Amino acid sequence: MGKHAAEITIFAALVGFVLVVGLVAARWRRPDSMLDLEEWGLGGRSFGNGVTWFLLGGDIYTAYTIVALPALIYGVGAVGFFAVPFAAVVYPLVYVLLTRLWSVSHVHGFVTPADFVRARFGSRALATLVAVAAIVATMPYIALQLIGMEVVLKTLGVPTEWPLVVAFVLLALATFRSGLRGPALIAIVKDLLLLWTVLAALLYVATIPGYWSGIFRHARATFEQTPSLNDGLLLAPSNQLGYVTLLLGSALALFLYPHALTGVLAARNRGTVQRNLAALPVYTLLLGATGLLGYLASYLNVRPIGGDRNTIVPALFDTIFPAWCAGIGYAAIGIGALVPAAIMSIAAANLFTRNIYREYIRPSASPAQQTRVSQVASLAVKLGAVGAILVLNPQFAIDLQLIGGVIILQILPAVAVGLYTRWLHRYALVLGLVIGLLTGLLLLYQIPQPGPGGTTIRAHFGGSSWPLTNIGFDTTATIYAGLVALAVNLVVAVITTPIFRRRVPDAPDTTAPHHYFTDDTDPTIQRMESLVDGT
Amino acid sequence: MTDKVLVRPTGARHAAWYDPDPTIPIAMPRSGRSAWHWLLVVPVVLPLFTPLYNRMGPSLFGIPFFYWSQLAFSVLSIVVTALVYLATRGRA
């Protein structure tokens, strides 16, 4: 412990500080009553430009991203860089969609994407499927954040179990009390710490003779020594399809995740959503800089701790920073785990409350009862994630997260296409979703994990890049499994729509075309709680 | 639905807003569609063509083209999205 005393002190102090912030956040812009799901779960839909920016930034640029992206680039090079164009493509991609979703959710009081699907297609089954898929996809994402925290604790040389439990129990209490206001405030601290850390690392690069060119020359030489053809400073010809489909698939998936949508729905008005989507790629520059730190680690011969490649970033901080600055970097990662974990648990809890509890268990639940259920559910989700990490192999969370990405893409036809048109029939959407899920699982099952020297570490669930040899192409090229499953899903939905429509008439759509363009200041705005609540 | 209130709301408070009397002429919200939105296709599609940027040179501050060009894509996203926002602002 002696060696890391200063780092541990700063890390513990900062993490402790934000947890206190999270607890008192309930008093921030105190609502008349916290016992309302729109207050607890969406911060009263009142967040302006700044808070929304930090909330979405905390949502998307998570601890795991900060840790895993440089680790991936350290390990394989160019292929790992896909996260950067993904985070550049995603915002213009969803600009129009999310503006529409914000408006229709504001008019109808939707809290979850499944709320929207329920109203748009009038189908309880479809809404439930969407909610369950979203919850299942989100759970391993929370566990993944714990891994981000774990690698920091590992680097500090402290036991990983009890500090992890303490931090997450405190976080669970803060979320229980403050709802979305908690992570919104904490996210501000996280981003300041992260910005500080990345700038400090870039400053360090400026002290290296030759700056980046020396670092890249070293990385190139390192990759040339490895027998693998898939690593390198550039993409191998066989990697390009995989790279593009993974970046596109990830971009399509990102705002289908309920926690990202929670950040959007909590915004005050359409302009706040739009301005944030224009400005959020600034984070991508930060992300790219963080990714390149993987090459810096390689240049400085930093070795991962205990063979766990994900410790490369904290190990790098330990090498290049004085203790106090490394402590800040660790805190940035640690808090970067707490923020998304809190938002994800709130989003999952809201889905459970709105689309399962109220739909099947207690349709007459009052707003206060719904909030209580959400609070308890968020608690359960977080404790479940801690339990899963402590009991199961962390690799399991990473595998489940890969599957989660494929699962969440399958709600795209109902949610994203549904925002534009309700031409697709609800039964066709259900069928497409189910077949898409099965296809995705089958493809993932067929993906082996290659080891060094042509060996196979695992025969199944070894990644998300599906080899095209499976369909007879004589190539080493791969394609992102999630995108293939989504294509199957869409094709099924489109083909079966006319067939179902002939037999089963469409259910009523309670949204109207102008609901998709309403703003908070629009004099014609109507809150249609009566339609949503079925009263 | 007996109450007929037409109030300008101050935010997302959840007091129920009822349907305004359909006979009261209200300004229909504009459609919100705009040709400007097609501009958003550019920053989405450009990064999908790997041959454009899968090369070492020209480098910038010693960073190969592959890396800095993809960072530049995020700047392009900012510029295009901001442009679309400014051009369509106030139209709904």
Q: CB–CB of B77 and A212 under 8 A? A: no
ipTM score of complex: 0.86
Q: CB–CB of B17 and A95 under 8 A? A: no
More confident residue, A307 or A107: A107
Lowest mean pLDDT among A19-28, A241-250, B73-82: A19-28
pLDDT bucket at B77, cuts 50 / 70 / 90: very high
CA distance A444 to chain B (A): 23
Q: Check CB contact of B64 with chain A, cutoff 8 Å.
A: yes
Task: Provide the pLDDT for residue B10.
Answer: 39
Does A506 have pLDDT greater than 50?
Answer: yes
CA distance B13 to A306: 53
In this complex, which of B16, B54, B71 lies closest to A527 when CB atoms are compared?
B16
A67 residue type, one letter: V
- Average pLDDT over every residue of A375-396: 82
Does A396 have pLDDT greater than 90?
Answer: no
Interface of A with B in 105-124 (CB under 8 A): 106, 109
CA distance A299 to chain B (A): 14
Does B23 have pLDDT greater than 70?
Answer: no
Q: Tell whether the torsion through CA atoms of A235, A91, A66 and A211 is positive or negative.
A: positive
Q: Check CB contact of A230 with chain B, cutoff 8 Å.
A: no
Does B16 have pLDDT greater than 50?
Answer: no
- Give, for A478, the enclosing helix (H) or strand (E): strand A478-480
Lowest mean pLDDT among A30-44, A232-246, A325-339: A30-44
Lowest mean pLDDT among A14-28, A263-277, B59-73: A14-28
- Average pLDDT over every residue of A405-416: 94
Task: Provide the pLDDT for residue A419.
Answer: 93
CA distance A77 to A61: 20
The whole-chain average pLDDT of chain A stands at 87
Q: Check CB contact of B85 with chain A, cutoff 8 Å.
A: yes
pLDDT, tens digit, 9 for 90 and up, residues A285-333:
999 999 999 999 999 888 888 878 888 999 999 889 998 898 999 999 9
Peptide bond just before B58 cis, omega within 30 deg? yes
Rounded to 5 degrees, φ, ψ at A70 are -60, -35
CA distance A180 to A343: 7
| Interface with chain B: mutation pick from A37, A98, A110, A216, highest number of B CBs within 10 Å | A216
Q: CB–CB of A211 and B62 under 8 A? A: yes
CA distance A36 to chain B (A): 10
Q: CB–CB of A282 and B1 under 8 A? A: no
Q: Check CB contact of B91 with chain A, cutoff 8 Å.
A: no
Q: Which two tokens stand for residue A404?
A: 């989660």
Q: Check CB contact of B76 with chain A, cutoff 8 Å.
A: yes
Q: CB–CB of B75 and A524 under 8 A? A: no
- Give the chain B residue nearest A96 (alpha carbons): B37
Write the CB contacts of B23 (distance below 8 Å, at least 6 apart in sequence).
Answer: none
